[in-house]
Chain A
Amino acid sequence: EPEVTQTPSHQVTQMGQEVILRCVPISNHLYFYWYRQILGQKVEFLVSFYNNEISEKSEIFDDQFSVERPDGSNFTLKIRSTKLEDSAMYFCASRETSGPPDTQYFGPGTRLTVL
């Protein structure tokens, strides 16, 4: 069964450093998402991406965040200058079509720890 994959599974970085989180969505999917979940808290939407551009973004997704689809398979989230409060699980998700009932399929997540 096709699945969303994410690398790395764990990332430890120093405050102020740049990190790039990588995702490979399911191959025939057209819509891509990044979410984060701070430990013990709710899942929070960061950004959605379609047709090589951002379609929606949340207040969390400020200028230090960027997304890119550098080739036909990868979808990346870059955090330019990490802060302690960026420590969280970051989930990538993808779905095939624009409307329901199509569901989003989640990758296993990257646990980011900022020291």
Chain B
Amino acid sequence: GQNIDQPTEMTATEGAIVQINCTYQTSGFNGLFWYQQHAGEAPTFLSYNVLDGLEEKGRFSSFLSRSKGYSYLLLKELQMKDSASYLCASMDSNYQLIWGAGTKLIIKP
């Protein structure tokens, strides 16, 4: 079956670093996406990994290990506006996105 697992909720402090983990099992693999979703809004694209390793984009970095079926999203220098849900999604062999339930990130001052 196809499954994406990520923690339901995490809490972090403004200015700190947080890592959100995701494990995936999909029929085929064409990449791992991270999206940010603020409450009541649409998901917005953050990152894409298809090869093993770390992709850095400003304060956000994403890592992939295909052999382990594992990814993480690293957020540095956290800001209050980073409070949102972070959705992990794997693209399967049909180029369809299989979504995790999302990790709600709460930032405290």
Chain B 83-105, CB-CB to A under 8 Å as 1, else 0, gives 00001010100111111111000
Q: Are A103 and B33 in contact (CB under 8 A)?
A: yes
Q: Which residues of A contact B101 (CB under 8 A)?
A: 41-42
Chain A contact surface mostly: loop
Q: Which of A43, A45, A99, A103 has the most CB of B within 10 A?
A: A43
Q: Give chain B nearest CB distance to A93 CB in angstroms.
A: 8
B31 within 8 A of A: yes
Interface size class of A (residues with CB under 8 A): 20 to 34
Collect the chain B residues with CB atoms within 8 Å of residue A105's CB.
Answer: 45
Residues of B29-69 at the interface with A, using a CB-CB cut-off of 8 Å, are 30-31, 33, 40-45, 48, 50
Instruction: Determine the chain A residues whose CB is within 8 A of the CB of B40 once the complex forms.
Output: 89, 111
What are the residues of chain B within 8 A of A43 when measuring CB–CB?
Answer: 43, 87, 89, 99, 102
| Contact in complex: A100, B42 (CB < 8 Å) | no
Contacts A105-B45, A106-B42, A108-B41; A45 near B95 (Cβ below 8 A): no
> Which of B30, B94, B99, B100 is A100 in contact with, Cβ under 8 Å?
B30
Query: How many A-B residue contacts, CB cutoff 8 Å?
Result: 49
Q: Are A100's CB and B31's CB within 8 A? A: yes
**Which residues of B sit under 8 angstroms from A100, Cβ to Cβ?**
30-31, 48, 50, 91, 95
Interface class of chain B by DSSP? loop
Q: Nearest residue in B to A6 (C-beta to C-beta)?
A: B42
A31 to B, closest residue via Cβ: B95
A window 87-113: CB within 8 A of B: 89, 91, 98-101, 103-109, 111
Known contacts A105-B45, A108-B42; 19 further A-B pairs (Cβ under 8 A)? A41-B101, A43-B87, A43-B99, A44-B99, A45-B98, A56-B94, A56-B96, A91-B42, A100-B31, A100-B48, A103-B33, A103-B45, A103-B48, A104-B45, A106-B43, A106-B44, A107-B42, A109-B41, A111-B40
